[in-house]
Structure 1
Amino acid sequence: MSEDRVSRIRSALDALDPSSLDIRDDSHKHAGHAGARDGRGHFSVRIVSARFEGLLPLKRHRLVYDMLGPLMETDIHAVAIQARTPAEAALQAEKP
Structure 2
Amino acid sequence: MSVQRHIEDKLHVAFQPAHLSVTNESYMHAVPADAETHFKVVIVSGEFEGQRLVSRHRAVNQILADELAGPVHALALHTYTPEEWEQYYGQVPASPACLGGSRLG
Task: Tell whether the structures are fold-level matches, with TM greater than 0.5.
Answer: yes
Moved beyond 3 Å, runs of 4+: none
Q: Name the residue aligned to 2:97.
A: none
Identity %: 32
The AA in structure 1 aligned to 2:26 is S
Stretches of structure 1 that go unaligned for 5 or more consecutive residues are none
Q: Which residue of 2 aligns with 1:85?
A: 81
Matched, 1:12 2:19: no
Does structure 2 conserve the Cα–Cα contact (< 8 Å) formed by 1:40 and 1:74? no
Is structure 2 residue 37 aligned with structure 1 residue 44?
A: no
Structure with the higher strand share, 1 or 2: 1
TM (normalized to structure 2)? Answer: 0.75
- Taking the aligned partners of 1:16 and 1:31, their CA distance within structure 2 comes to 32
User: Given the alignment of the two structures, is residue 22 of structure 1 paired with residue 18 of structure 2, yes or no?
Assistant: no
Q: Which consecutive residues of structure 2, in runs of 5 or more, have no partner in the other structure?
A: 92-105
Deviation, 1:11, is: 1.0
Could you say if the C-alpha distance between residues 94 and 67 of structure 1 is closer, same or farther in structure 2, counting changes exceeding 3 Å?
Answer: closer
Aligned-pair RMSD on alpha carbons? 2.1
- In the TM superposition, what is the alpha-carbon distance from 1:69 to its structure 2 partner? 1.3
CA shift, 1:74, in A, is 2.0
Q: Helix, strand or coil: the match of 2:2? A: helix
